[in-house]
């Protein structure tokens, strides 16, 4: 009997030791998990606070993790000329898509107006200012715009069909309500003219403005225009008309007229009507206040 009792005591002692050992292991693992969780929470809280300080919300941070780092192209629009640079950005050769322009100040401030099929072989082009005149997809390139709309490009400012005035570096931008059709309702604009004041020049990008003529309020807001970028199209289905363009340019009398959407035959009609004989084709225009002041008449410049 004593032998059996001893064996039972030994067995229960071993069970008790095993239970204590297993409990101890379990407690160690749980403590490690808690410590790890606390560390992760502390890091996350620190990241969230930093994100909040930089104006980045939880959704933005999640998107950044998913999308990874963005490669920025700061060379394609580099301007060392000492003048204002204007360049066509649309990669398509279709004249109907001839509507996306880059304007770069002599100090290097980059404006992109109506991004559409923007080149991205060297990464996302770095812009300081992005404007969109209206909602149509041929003036609003999602692949280009999304990182800007998510505020992932530091120091950039986006204005989409908004009546406002703001300054970025050495450029003043003003949104002026307009219409994509003949009739203009100021309370419900369907297009936005963007005026850029840069290097002493006044450059206006008209988007798809198709009004029969400009109003007195629009002309007052625009002032004396040095360079206009507007539709040279007779595609009536989109509201455009060659005589509308003639009338608007007669009202504006810009030193340099450049086309957005265009057809060659419509260009010929408009230039003949306006008696513009100085016609230039180039890939880039470099222009200064002195250049404009030295001109004797109107110029038509087609960028390709």
Domain 72-303 has CATH 3.40.50.2000: no
- pLDDT-derived band at 50 (thresholds 50, 70, 90) equals very low
**Where is pLDDT greater, at 303 or 53?**
303
CB-based contact 302:283 (threshold 8 Å): no
Q: Which pLDDT value is given to residue 68? A: 61
Q: 143-191, pLDDT tens digit by residue?
A: 999 999 998 899 999 999 999 999 999 999 999 999 999 999 999 999 9
In tens, the pLDDT along 232-243 reads 999 998 999 999
**For the segment 187-212, what is each residue's pLDDT rounded down to a tens digit?**
999 999 999 999 999 999 999 999 99
pLDDT at 96: 87
Q: Which band of pLDDT confidence, cut at 50, 70 and 90, is reported for residue 103? A: very high
Separation CA 133–CA 115 (nearest Å): 10
Confidence check: pLDDT of 303 > 90? yes
- Comparing CA positions, the residue from 198, 202, 158, 194 lying closest to residue 177 is 194
DSSP code string of the chain: -HHHHHHHHHHHHHHHHHHHHHHHHHHHHHHHHHHHHHHHHHHHHHHHHHHHHTT--HHHHHHHHHH-PPPEE-STT---SSSEEEEE------GGG---EEEE-TT--EEEES--S---TTSEEP-SEEEE-SS-GGG--HHHHHHHHTT-STT-EEEES---EEEETTEEEEEEEE-SSSS--TTS-SEEEEEEEETTEEEEE-TT---SS--HHHHHHH-S-SEEEEEE---GGGT--HHHHHHHHHHH--SEEEEEEE-HHHHHHHHHHHT--EEEEESEEEE-HHHHHH--S-EEEEE-
Q: What percent of the chain has pLDDT over 90?
A: 69
Average pLDDT of the chain? 83
């Amino acid at each position: 009997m004593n032998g059996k009792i001893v064996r039972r005591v030994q067995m229960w002692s071993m069970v008790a030791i095993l239970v204590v050992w297993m409990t101890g292991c379990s407690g160690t693992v749980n403590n490690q998990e808690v410590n790890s969780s606390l560390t992760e929470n502390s890091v996350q809280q620190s990241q969230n606070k930093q994100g909040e300080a930089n104006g980045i919300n939880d959704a933005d941070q999640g998107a950044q993790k998913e999308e990874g780092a963005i490669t920025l192209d700061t060379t394609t629009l580099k301007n060392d000329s000492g003048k204002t640079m204007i360049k066509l950005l649309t990669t398509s050769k279709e004249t109907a898509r001839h509507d996306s322009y880059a304007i770069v100040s002599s100090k290097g401030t980059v404006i992109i107006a109506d991004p559409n099929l923007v080149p991205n072989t060297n990464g996302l082009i770095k812009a300081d200012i992005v404007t969109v005149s209206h909602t149509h997809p041929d003036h609003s390139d999602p692949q280009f715009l999304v990182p800007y709309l998510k505020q992932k490009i530091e120091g950039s400012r986006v204005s989409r069909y908004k009546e406002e005035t703001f300054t970025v570096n050495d450029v003043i931008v003003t949104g002026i309500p307009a219409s994509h059709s003949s009739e203009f309702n100021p309370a419900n604009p369907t297009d936005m003219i963007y005026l850029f004041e840069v290097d002493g020049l006044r450059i206006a990008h008209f988007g798809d403005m198709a009004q029969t003529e400009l109003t007195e309020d629009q002309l007052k807001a625009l002032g004396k225009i040095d360079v206009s970028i507007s539709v040279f199209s007779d595609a009536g289905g989109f509201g455009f008309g060659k005589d509308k363009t003639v009338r608007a340019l007669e009202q504006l009398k810009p030193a340099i007229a450049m086309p957005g959407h265009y057809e060659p035959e419509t260009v010929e009609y408009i230039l003949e009507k306006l008696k513009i004989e100085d016609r230039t084709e180039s890939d880039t225009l470099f222009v200064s206040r002195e250049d404009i002041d030295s001109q004797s008449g109107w110029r038509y410049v087609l960028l390709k």
